[in-house]
Amino acid sequence: MSFRRRVSHALGDRGLPLRLLALKHIAHALIPGYRLKYPQLDWWSNEPFNQYLDRFYERKGHNTDRRWIIHQLLRLTTNVAGDTAECGVFAGAGSYLILRANERDNLHKRTHYMFDSFEGLSQPDTADGSYWQAGDMAMAEDAVRHNLRDCSNYVAMKGWIPSRFAEVAGRRFSFVHIDVDLYEPTRDSLAFFLPRMTAGGIIVVDDYGFATCPGASQAVDDILRHGPEKMLAMPDGGGFLIKGQATADGAQLDSSTHYQK
């Protein structure tokens, strides 16, 4: 192969393994243990999805995998009766996906409830570590309404969680996204919504499994300890459960105990 062809292979699609290797070495030098993924994923070039990401300035962000999985999980609840909710709304990107799915599932005429202080995080607990501070992630309600300007059937429930939950205590839910970063509001949200889910409904906890949100992970495990449903931890962070779907503990993958016997 000529030198020119070799260079063009090295830079084009056929040269991807080489560039990935270079990226891997650079990444490992900067962040030891960092794991890359193969970029030949269909959803990375899904144009409607990328336009959605652009709308919230997220195409180059770190959250795109979790956005995609929510978009997919919502498909599982298409025949599940109930309203939807998001606890922790920020700019509205999670609610937007839910609202678009609700338009598709219009048989159920769902209302979407958005719970947020619209003043950022509440005071972190000792369980939350030191990563977050009160007031982080503040986004004004007007800005969220602007971002959702072409969406309908939602209600913004401004207030500190759980102060406004009582207003929806008599409703049933098909899909709930909990994304409040901290122990207390995660615990209160999960404890409130879990018994109000229709069988087959899904709860996603965005912060589950993040070292930056130890309180949120602990809250989930505390609430689910004695129930049949457990969080299924997703590979890019966050977890979900399906109401009424008993979930086994993870299998023991480390066989060293076997060899010790």
Ligand X SMILES: C[S@@+](CC[C@H](N)C(=O)[O-])C[C@H]1O[C@@H](n2cnc3c(N)ncnc32)[C@H](O)[C@@H]1O
Binding interface with ligand X (CB under 6 A)? 86, 88-91, 93-94, 116-117, 120-122, 137-139, 160-161, 179-182, 185
In angstroms, what is the minimal distance from the CB of 4 to ligand X?
Answer: 46
H or E stretch covering 230: none
Q: Which is nearer to ligand X, 90 or 242 (CB)?
A: 90
Q: What distance separates the 2 farthest-apart alpha carbons in the chain? A: 72
Helix and strand element counts for the chain (H, E): 9, 7
H or E stretch covering 186: helix 183-193
In angstroms, what is the minimal distance from the CB of 221 to ligand X?
Answer: 19
In angstroms, what is the minimal distance from the CB of 213 to ligand X?
Answer: 9
Distance CA 166, CA 17 (A): 55
Q: What SS3 state is found at 34?
A: coil
Q: Which is nearer to ligand X, 36 or 143 (CB)?
A: 143
Q: Which is nearer to ligand X, 158 or 172 (CB)?
A: 158
Strand pairing of 197-205 and 112-116?
unpaired
Q: Which is nearer to ligand X, 185 or 209 (CB)?
A: 185
Neighbouring C-beta atoms of residue 130, cutoff 10 Å: 8
In angstroms, what is the minimal distance from the CB of 206 to ligand X?
Answer: 6
